[in-house]
């Protein structure tokens, strides 16, 4: 695969990992680091894909929150309750924690439910997810 193809694959794996799809971008990212691909480009593609994938959750929260009790809804009711509690306490700043493996996706859904403006949403989510991937890359390089 060409380097561009590797980056695009990471973008889509990261995008999927932020939605209800069962993707794990960290494994792919580490394998691409091991293959010697430049960390800065990997960070950019992973962060962009994961952030835009979270935008799908925002849209679901905005448009489909009345279906939250359905099985296919991307966040479990328990996770939504916890995320709404965090939003009640910390407001939009909660989106900085959207990178968390448990509850992070629910936070992005609640961002849509709470009608967080799209620009604010993307800036806060991109910061959180960008720091997450940066820490993963730095941790790998420290080994």
In this predicted structure, what is the pLDDT of residue 85? 87
- Residue 39 pLDDT more than 70? yes
| Residue with the larger pLDDT of the pair 26 and 73 | 26
pLDDT digits over 51-79, tens only?
999 999 999 889 988 888 888 777 778 88
- Residue 1 pLDDT more than 80? no
pLDDT digits over 111-133, tens only?
998 899 999 999 999 999 999 99
| CB 108, CB 79: distance < 8 Å | no
Residue appearing with tokens 């561009």: 4
Give the DSSP per-residue string, 30-66: HHHHHTT--HHHHHHHHHHHHHHHHHHHHHHHHHHGG
- Residue 136 pLDDT more than 90? yes
| Residue with the larger pLDDT of the pair 103 and 38 | 38
In this predicted structure, what is the pLDDT of residue 67? 85
In this predicted structure, what is the pLDDT of residue 14? 96
What is the DSSP-derived secondary structure letter of residue 114? T
Q: What is the pTM of this model?
A: 0.89
> From CA 32, how far away is CA 132, in angstroms rounded?
17
Residue appearing with tokens 């009711």: 77
**CB neighbour list of residue 18: distance below 8 Å, 6 or more residues apart:** 49, 50, 51, 52, 53, 54, 56, 57, 105, 108, 129
For the chain, the average pLDDT equals 91
Residue appearing with tokens 């952030």: 51
Instruction: Kindly state the greatest CA–CA separation across the chain.
Output: 47
> From CA 29, how far away is CA 18, in angstroms rounded?
15
């Amino acid at each position: 695969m060409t380097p561009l193809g590797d980056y695009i694959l990471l973008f889509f794996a990261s995008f999927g990992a932020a939605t209800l799809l069962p993707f794990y971008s960290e494994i792919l990212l580490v394998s691409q680091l091991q293959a010697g691909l430049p960390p800065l480009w990997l960070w950019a593609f992973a962060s962009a894909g994961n952030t835009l994938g979270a935008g799908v959750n925002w849209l679901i929260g905005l448009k489909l929150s009345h279906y939250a009790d359905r099985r296919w809804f991307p966040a479990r009711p328990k996770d939504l309750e916890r995320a709404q509690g965090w939003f009640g306490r910390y407001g939009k700043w909660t989106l900085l924690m959207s990178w968390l493996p448990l509850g992070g996706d629910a936070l992005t859904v609640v961002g849509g439910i709470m009608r967080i403006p799209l620009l604010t949403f993307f800036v806060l989510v991109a910061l959180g997810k960008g720091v997450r991937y940066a820490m993963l890359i730095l941790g790998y390089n420290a080994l």
